[in-house]
Amino acid sequence: MPILVVSCGGGVAYALALLFLLSAGGKLIALGQFHAFTSSIPWLPVSDSPLWLIMLVLTELVICFLLLYPATRKFGAISSFSLLLVFTSVLISASHTGVDVDCGCFGDFLPDSSPDTAILRNVFFLVLSGVVASQTWAAPKEA
């Protein structure tokens, strides 16, 4: 079974890269939808800052490119896991405070009916990020 995990790591990394590319593009295309979600979370101090959105989109694009190249995949997987953990925490908090708005995380590419569906999606991608991270850590060094 560990051989299967190691052998599928590249494909999973490419799928995660596509996820972050779609997320960055979706936020840029449906900026209002994402802004509506972040504005509905009162404790999120950066929700009205356009600089925050630019930094978030750039971070997602950097993670996308890090995941594409084997030499940087480990850092990309750890960054992916970390950012997904933050996103999932925000979604859980939004769900517990009664926010029932599409997060706009992917714009119109992948609409969510509630934060709960986005949480489930993010947990799935957290697991995939863990697979890629463990695969890059366990991969033998090339000579």
Residue 46: name the closest of 79, 86, 76 by CA: 86
How do residues 125-142 score in pLDDT, each as one tens digit? 999 998 888 887 765 555
Q: Rounded to two decimals, what is the model's pTM?
A: 0.79
d(CA 142, CA 27) in angstroms, rounded, equals 38
How do residues 11-37 score in pLDDT, each as one tens digit? 889 999 999 998 888 888 877 777 777
Instruction: Indicate whether 103 pLDDT > 50.
Output: yes
50: tokens are: 């356009």
Q: Which residues of 67-99 are buried (b: 16+ CB within 10 A; e: fewer)?
A: bbeeebbbbbbbbbbebbeebbebbbebeeeeb
pLDDT at residue 124 in the model: 92
Three-state secondary-structure class, residue 111: coil
